[in-house]
Structure 1
Amino acid sequence: MAYLAGPEPQNDLAVLLELGVRPENIWAFEVEEKAATQGLDTLRELKARGVKFIPAGIEDYFLGTPQRFDIIYFDACGPFPSRSSNTARALATMFRYCALAPLGVLISNFARPDVSKSEDLDRYSFLVAAYLYPKDFLESKGGGIVEGPQAHGYLLNPSREAVDESGDDKPAEDFINEVKANFEHYYGLFITRSLMDLATIVAPMARLLSSDLWKVAFKDDIKAAIARGKRLIIFNEEALGSYEDAEHDGTDAAIQSAVGATTDLVNAAEGESADEMASEYIDSDGDAIVDSDHSSLIWTLAACGYYPVDTNFGQPPAGAKKLIRDWHNALVGKLPIQHINDLKDLVAVYYAWRHDQSLWSEAMLEIGQFPYRERMPFLCDVPTSEIGFYPAFAQLAYPAHPNVRETRRFRYVAETKITPMFIDVIAFDECRYVYDWISAMHLTPEDWKDLSAQLTFRFALDGIAKDKRWFGSDFLYGCHVVGESADFLTSELTLRQNLSPTSGDNGDVEVLNAC
């Protein structure tokens, strides 16, 4: 087990020993020199033999050693993210370098930001709202799952053009105002959802792009993938109108001309006909706007001002820009990534790869072009290449899947303190028993020709799909084998338990008004 020691490591250490953790299995970290010296003196007085007290940053230990921990207790003593970004960055580094054991538990403890000042409430509410808005389901205060903000008629920081074009007598409410009014509830969700997205998408992508291993599955053109991803969050109405007009003309030259006006976004694939280029180009424009739950992270980054966008997105508030920048810079971890510049490029590449098979390698294309409907039973969901994409990606990228059903979350205010703290206890599993059931991607389609092997794999995959059912469709969409029932439950988060119900602070909050 690993934890952040501080100048008084005996406090957490006493609890760990009382719970039966052996001292030789405990690693304590403190990077600040004065606090580390004080902590070491304390351990000498306690004669706590066997404890590994490391006077260095826990991130550096993650980077420099292959050690993996069954439990990591990360007491940030600050909000998520902090203005210095370290609270978010340390966990991004942890996931990226697989410091948590294949079946390990992360215990995180974050402070509520000081939202007593209106400007601080504004900046945090914008980031929290932008992150949660594209999710198709959220957790309600009373327990259980409710549809996300869009289903209840909310907009997110709407641009003036979007409001004017809505045509409604009563403009839709801005979700940012809803978050401000019920900040603690949504901030708690933001922490939980961020940790889970880090483990399943962001950190695996950062790890994969830190070497050349990704070229096994995808074509060697990162710039094309980034450009392709950016097209998902902007409608190209000029191209759409030109293409529709050109279709009436009926000539390949006219269609080619319509597409040529917009090739600044991405170069057409070599060897495609003009009609193929045009239809493919237009089909992908704005998909993340239409189906934001399938592309929630790129939608959030677009709302935060990281891509060229159209009137579907308003400008982020100027006061939130530094917080957004700190958050953005933190989520890939401490070290840069070899093949991309930052988080916005990483996210663009992920959704481009998922969306566009023209970016896939020959081996990956064999998976994409497998005759799913002809060779796989329909069962609960219609089989598609979704069954193949993420498992093949996972064999290379090693995501960590959260156990949603067993996640426990708490809120408390410590004695003599006034700041509410948010604890998340999440078990993560690499689920190798799922991904190892199929061969590496070059042979995977041959595995599926064996119905017994295919069904065993699909039933195992169904377990992951059911556990993340209410957490969005950023991966494994439509992979259910059996429907939800008493025997095959979809997982829901338990309520965040308030351990300080009489603290007198504003912990009792409301959620989506429409609920």
Structure 2
Amino acid sequence: MSYTQDSKEKSREELWHHAISAVTVDRKSSRVLNSEYLETLWNYAWDDVLSHVLDVSKERHRIAEYFDNWAEYSESCYGQKSPKDLRVAYFSGPEPENDLRILLSLGVRIENVWAFEADKDTYSKALEKARENFPYLKIFPGSLGDFFKTNHLTFDIIYLDFTGSLVAKNLRTLSVLHATFDEQALSDLSVLVVNSCEPDATQDNCDFLSAYYYFQPMVECSVYGELPHQEDNKLVSWFSEPASAHGYEPKQLSQMVSKNMRGVYSAFATSYPLYYSNFISPTLRFLRNSSLRKQLFSSDQATHKEAFDRMGDVSSLLSEFIPDSESNDDNIISGDRIFNPDSFPFWNFIDSLQSMGGALGQYWFNEFSKPKDGASVLDAAKFRESLAETLSGYDGLLSDNIKKEIRRVNLAIPDARGGLFCDIPMAHLWLELSLNQLGAPYHSNINNQRRWTYKAKVRQMHLDAFTFDRCRSMYDYLPMVDMYGDVLRDLLPQLIIRCCIDAIGKQIRWPLPNLYYGSNIACINEDIKGADFGELEARVEI
């Protein structure tokens, strides 16, 4: 197999140039917490909104000074980097020199480069090649996942160059992708490059992808066979309502996938890493640490089971229409996961894998359901996607302490009933904040994402370069959750945090609309510079 064909070489050059620029010379624009937008939003909040309901005339200096102090702290969190400061990891393959030569030409030091190769024969070939020209290259004889579990290095850029698809069970590509996030292998501002192969349109693959997309609240246009739209000098993918809103049944969607594997898999190769890094992985970290878990969730396992069961129970509604049907009158609120399925996309996706039949669905259902260190991916999906519902009839999931703190914060919100900013800041935002502060997600700069596709001999490859920002200058600015009520009752820190979650939510609004939903300080039609939803560029053919 040739690793130097023209299309592969072109993609390799483009991705490394983009990735290195994103975390060096373009580091400032790669941030999700963009300082220019946040300053604009801060001034808008005080000058154009709060000044009409509060007397802030004597506080102007203190307000400006407070933001400047936070901005200085934020700058120190991000810092500056040049290519020689970057630590890079990539899959070696039999010819590790192909990527290494480009990295060295762009200023990366060989001492900071790690190559990985799990296959024994390929490792031997790679080692021989390295001995000839690059004896200082570190080639690890194992998988990235194995390395991350025993070594706490973090990388500014990781390139996962898979030879198979993300859904293939035999190649275990998803397990390596999961480990990258679960073991926190990426730096706080980083680029993850994922290259994977478009799968064949088998029944198993089509059912798997249709199960994933049937419950997604917003779906990239390529899934429905639609073309991106032209905006300025680029093609931008647009997003539409879930499949159910279009009247599709799961079988119909599976048939659509079989006729449009290119468009569906292109969207999946982008969507799945975004969802896992923002929702599932941070919740897994939270659940697998007993000290973290008790900060937010109750310790009563029976209560957890009752709440989760009730979310899928529609008997109370059926009893209204079918007199002889049984229902539990004590559980008035129930069935949320059934009646509002796109609020529980990953939980419903995993659940449907068990019933769809086929070896692939059963394999991934078992993998997602398998506990590891006390929690499974399915557990993470249940807890994370139920978070917004916990204060609406399912509060038995929460610890007494977090319920107390949420009430204290709500009392300090000046617009708890609306009327000031674009969105009313509902209580679920503070729950998300407390989970993410300790769960440490990788948030996504969608504007900076780049995607390519090319033909590798007979297989179509889909290449994604994700820019991730852990937004530590917001999360580390907060106290621990027991002090939220004490600190956030002051409007100055409260507005800093609300401006930050506005920026996070706006950036990811289309691919992940449930992340910090309803967090907008400024509406997108208010002509405020930077107050736009992030836009995902269409995949470019090489």
TM-score (normalizing by structure 2) = 0.74
Q: What is the alpha-carbon distance in structure 1 between the residues aligned to residue 339 and residue 512 of structure 2?
A: 14
Q: CA deviation at 1:234?
A: 4.0
**CA separation in 1, counterparts of 2:413 and 2:378?**
37
> C-alpha offsets along residues 454-498 of structure 1, whole Å, 9 cap, x if unaligned?
112111110011112112443312111110145201012100111
Q: Which residue of 1 aligns with 2:218?
A: 137
1:214 aligns with 2:263: no
C-alpha distance in structure 2 between counterparts of 1:389 and 1:381, whole Å: 17
Provide the residue aligned with 1:451 in structure 2: 491
Partner SS, residue 102 of structure 2: helix
User: Which amino acid is the alignment partner of residue 16 of structure 1?
Assistant: L
Cα deviation digits, residues 145-186 of structure 1 (max 9, x gap):
3333223222223xxxxxxxxxxxxxxxx2222222211111
2:387–2:432: 8 Å Cα contact kept in structure 1? no
Partner residue in 2 for 1:152: 246
Partner residue in 2 for 1:233? 312
Distance 1:230 1:192 in 2: 31
Q: State whether structure 2 residue 437 is matched by structure 1 residue 402.
A: no
Quick check: 102-111 or 201-210, which moved more?
201-210
Relative to 1, partners in 2 of residues 1:375 and 1:349: Cα closer, same or farther, differing over 3 Å? closer
**Change in 2 beyond 3 A, CA 1:287/1:473:** farther
Assess, with a 3 A threshold, how the Cα gap between structure 1 residues 101 and 74 changes in structure 2: closer, same or farther. same
1:205 aligns with 2:283: yes
Aligned AA (2:534): S
Q: Deviations over 1:440-467 (max 9, x none)?
A: 1101122221112211211111001111
Question: Structure 1 counterpart of 2:196, which letter?
Answer: F
Q: How does 1:190-201 map to 2 (within 5 A)?
A: 190-201=268-279
Q: 1:420 to 1:325 in 2, by over 3 A?
A: same
Equivalents in 2 of 1:244, 1:32: separation in Å? 62
Q: CA-to-partner distance for each residue in 1:398-426, whole Å, 9 max, x for gaps?
A: 11111111111111013xx1100000100
What does residue 161 of structure 1 align with? none
- Over residues 317-357 of structure 1, what are the superposed CA-to-partner deviations in whole Å (9 max), with x where a residue is unaligned? x33xx21233345569xx952323x3323322333444222
> Deviation of residue 139 (structure 1)?
2.3
Q: Do structure 1's residue 6 and structure 2's residue 75 form an aligned pair? A: no
Change (3 A) 1:475 1:231: farther
Identify which of 356, 368, 373 aligns with 1:338: 373
For 2:276 and 2:138, locate their aligned partners in 1 and report how far apart those are by CA, in whole Å: 28
Letter in 1 for 2:296: A
Residue 282 (str. 1) matches residue 325 (str. 2): no
Aligned residues of 1:288 and 1:296 also touching (Cα < 8 A): no
Q: Say if 2:316 and 2:328, in contact at 8 Å, map to a contact too.
A: no
Q: 1:494 aligned to 2:525? A: no
Task: State which of 58, 65, 72 in structure 1 corresponds to 2:158.
Answer: 72
Residues 442/243 of structure 1: CA separation in 2 closer, same or farther (3 Å cut): farther
Matched, 1:441 2:520: no
Letter in 1 for 2:535: E
Paired letter, 1:326:
Y
Distance (whole Å) between structure 2 residues aligned to residue 196 and residue 101 of structure 1? 16
CA contact (8 A) 1:89 1:330 kept: no
For residues 275 and 138 of structure 2, the distance between their equivalents in structure 1, rounded to whole angstroms, comes to 31
Separation (CA, whole Å) in 1 of partners of 2:327 and 2:212: 35
SS of 1:304's partner is: helix
1:94 aligns with 2:94: no
CA offset at residue 227 of structure 1? Answer: 4.3
Contact preservation (8 Å) 1:395, 1:435: yes
Deviations 1:375-418 (A, max 9, x none): 3323111121122011100112111111111111111013xx11
Residue 371 to residue 96, structure 1, CA distance change in 2 (3 Å):
closer
> Contact conserved, 1:233 with 1:286, CA < 8 A, in 2?
yes
2 CA distance for matches of 1:97 and 1:226?
28
What SS does structure 2 have at the residue aligned with 1:327?
A: helix
Aligned-residue CA RMSD in angstroms? 2.5
Aligned to 2:504: 464
Q: Does the 8 Å contact 1:70/1:103 carry over to 2?
A: yes
Moved more, 237-246 or 346-355: 237-246
Instruction: Name 1:482's counterpart in structure 2.
Output: 522
Letter in 1 for 2:541: N
Give distance in 2, aligned partners of 1:363 and 1:217. 8
1:28-77 deviations in Å (ceiling 9; x for gaps): 0112222212211111101x143211112211111001000000000111
2:464 corresponding residue in structure 1:
424
More helix, by proportion: 2
Flag the 1:459–1:94 CA change in 2: closer, same or farther, 3 A: same
Q: Describe how 1:314-325 pairs up with structure 2 within 5 A.
A: 315-316=355-356, 318-319=357-358, 322-325=359-362
Q: Which runs of 5+ in 1 are unaligned?
A: 158-173, 247-256, 261-277, 306-314, 500-515
2: CA distance between counterparts of 1:448 and 1:298?
Answer: 32
**Aligned partners of 2:471, 2:488: CA distance in 1, in Å?**
19
Tell me whether 1:350 sits opposite 2:384 in the alignment.
yes
The CA deviation at 1:90 is 0.5
Counterpart for residue 327 of structure 1: 364
- Deviation of 1:10 after TM superposition, in Å, equals 1.6
**Counterpart check, 1:28 vs 2:143:** no
Q: Normalization by structure 1: what TM-score?
A: 0.78
Unaligned runs of 5+ in 2: 1-87, 222-226, 229-236
Count how many residue pairs are aligned between Structure 1 and Structure 2. 430
Cα distance change, pair 239–409 in 1 and its aligned pair in 2 (3 A): same
Off by >6 Å, runs of 4+ in structure 1: 242-246
Number of the residue aligned with 2:433: 391
Q: Please say if residues 242 and 342 of structure 2, whose CA atoms lie closer than 8 Å, have aligned partners that are also in contact.
A: no
Deviation at 1:434, TM superposition (A): 2.0
Q: Find the aligned partners of 1:19 and 1:331 in 2 and give their Cα distance.
A: 40
Match of 2:482, SS state, is coil
